[in-house]
Structures are given as C-alpha cells and as structure tokens.
Amino acid sequence: MSFAVSLIGLIIVIILLAVLITTMFRSPRPADAWRIAGTPVISPPAQSYYLGCIRRHTNFRRIGAIAMGLLALISTLLAGASVTPWGNTGTICTANVCGDQATRVSQALGTSMAIALVPACVLGAILGGLLAETYRLRQPTGVRLASLDAREPRSLPRRAYVAWSMTALTLAAGIAVWVTESTPALLVALVPGLLAVLLAEAIQFALTYRCRPVLIEDAMNADRNMRRAVSESVTWVELGAATLNLGWAAMAVGNLIQALSLQNWTQAFAIIFIIGGFFSVIPALIYVHRSSLVKPPGKQTTELAKTSKDYLPITRWFMPPARTTS
C-alpha cells in the first residue's frame, strides 16, 4: 500500500515538474506581442519593445526557478548530509557502531528532494517574475506632464481580494502557532512568500500611479498595453504566492495538531490540513502558468482572434523634440 502511494506521489511530482519546465522554457514569439497589442498590425520598433519586456520577464522567471531549485538541493544536502531523491532509507552510524550493525531508518517523503523541489521552483518563478518588474518602482527620467486621462482600473481585482484573504489567514495561523509553540519559526519560514505578496502590491501601485514619460500617442498606447498585461501577470503571481503561503501554514497547523495528541476527530483534521497544504502547490503552479506573458502557440492565436481589430498601425516611434524657449 505504501509503495503504491509513493509511486502515485512520484508520478504527480514528475508531472508537476514537467508542467513547470514547459512553462518556464517557452520562448517569446511575435504572436505574444500581437496579443498584448491587440493587433498584428504594429511596427517593428513596437514589436521589439513588446518582445523585450516579455523576454526580460521570462528570463527572470527562469533564473528564479533554477536558483530556488538549486537552493532546495543544497538545503536538503546540508540538512541530511545527503540528497534523498524519494524517501529512501538511510543509515545512522554512532561513534562506535557502523556498517552492518548500524541503525536503518526510513526518511519521510516530506524531507526528500523531489517533494521540496516543486514548491521551491514555483516560488522561485514567482519571485523572479516580480523582480523583473521592480524597475517600474523607479520614477522615469525625461519630460513628464500631468494628464487628465482616467487611470485604468486594476486588473483582476477579485483574484487580488482572494490573495489578500489568504495572506490574512496565513498571518493568523503563523501568530497562532507562535502563541502555542512559543516560537516564530512558521512566520520566519513564511517571510519569502509574504515579501512576494508585498512586492506584488508595490508593483501594482507603480503600474497605476507611476508617471509616464511624454511620448507620441502610439508609444503611449504601447506602454498602456504593456502595463495592463504586466498587471494581470502580477495578480496571478500574487495569488500563487498567497496559495503557497496558506498551504505551508496549513501543513504547520496540521503537524501541530498531531503533536498535541488530541481526540481522534482532531487527528482527521490534521491529516486534511497536511495533505491539503502539500497539494496547494498544484493551484500555485496553475497560477504561475497563467501569469506567463508567453502563451502556447494555440492559445496565442485564439486570444488574438478575440481582440478588437480597431487599431491603427504604429508608423512612428520616437521621443518628442525638447521644447526650447526663446
């Protein structure tokens, strides 16, 4: 029975890693720029601008996923003095006894490299995608003028509200564990995910209120389209970070309930918390997949067909001449 469960778990992990790899290593195509612009009728400089932003976003996500994956490997090696691929047995040697008389122990699947690798890579992709947009937090240089144009509403607001609710529940769980166990270990472990949520909110604020440089109307439209696409991506990423946080907190609460050795019905809740928290990586991976600015070829064509065709081609791409006073 345990072998069957382990085999099913290993298959799930392999599938999740395959989905993550295919998401991270899709290369930007012109259709991605057309989708964000809403039309394939754009000038080469405009297409280069869109693809440059998409490429930066994608590369940061790749680097983040790879870096966090390597960090998970190193952490597993330092914690257990060996890399445990999938809950295999290990040997404990005392100072005087080793070899055939050494104690054989079976390590839990939660300590294995395969289990830690998926959430670590997903979190790395989340942090990488956010770090790619931190340049928007700086005010741009150049001439800027006040505008009476209405700010575009925030993209996907309901999903942002869900992410905030998840973050509030996570903080409540962290504080509860701190009070019960007299240790802030859970809150410390949640710091990367909480920082991701805060960074996502800072980027959303910058996307809405950051002053735009004075450009020609076509260039301003391109900037507006790119901001809208990034805002949607950051919202999905924020939801993914909040989901990972809540899952991690649920696992900690489940382990705490098991350790307290309460009544049998509470142990059932503990198992639900642990299993649900572990599998929270699946919706988080889906949100990371949705946040990608690079879509699969089939979806590129489908989304482009749904957009409006009332766009004019961008024929010029330049900064306005500096005003001189006589």
Domain residue limits at 270: 9-88+103-139+152-297
Inside any domain, residue 316: no
Task: Count the domains in the chain.
Answer: 1
Inside any domain, residue 174: yes
Sign of CA dihedral 196, 197, 200, 206: negative
Per-residue tens of pLDDT for the chain, all 326 residues: 455 666 776 777 788 888 888 888 888 999 999 999 988 888 888 899 999 999 999 999 999 999 998 988 887 777 665 555 555 444 444 444 444 444 444 444 444 566 678 888 999 999 999 999 998 887 766 555 555 456 677 888 899 999 999 999 999 999 988 888 888 888 888 898 999 999 999 999 988 877 666 667 777 788 889 999 999 999 999 999 999 999 989 988 888 888 776 677 777 888 888 888 888 989 999 999 999 999 887 655 555 555 544 443 333 333 344 444 44
- Predicted model pTM: 0.79
Residue in 229, 225, 58, 232 with CA at minimum distance from that of residue 131: 58
Inside any domain, residue 248: yes
Token pair belonging to 315:
């024929």
The 3-class SS string of 229-298 reads HHHHHHHHHHHHHHHHHHHHHHHHHHHHHHHHCCCHHHHHHHHHHHHHHHCCHHHHHHHHHHHCCCCCHH
Paired with 91 in beta bridges are: 104
Paired with 89 in beta bridges are: 106
Q: Are strands 89-92 and 103-106 parallel, antiparallel or unpaired?
A: antiparallel
296-312 in b/e form (b: 16+ CB < 10 A) is eeeebeebbeeeeeebe
Inside any domain, residue 289: yes
Inside any domain, residue 36: yes
Inside any domain, residue 62: yes
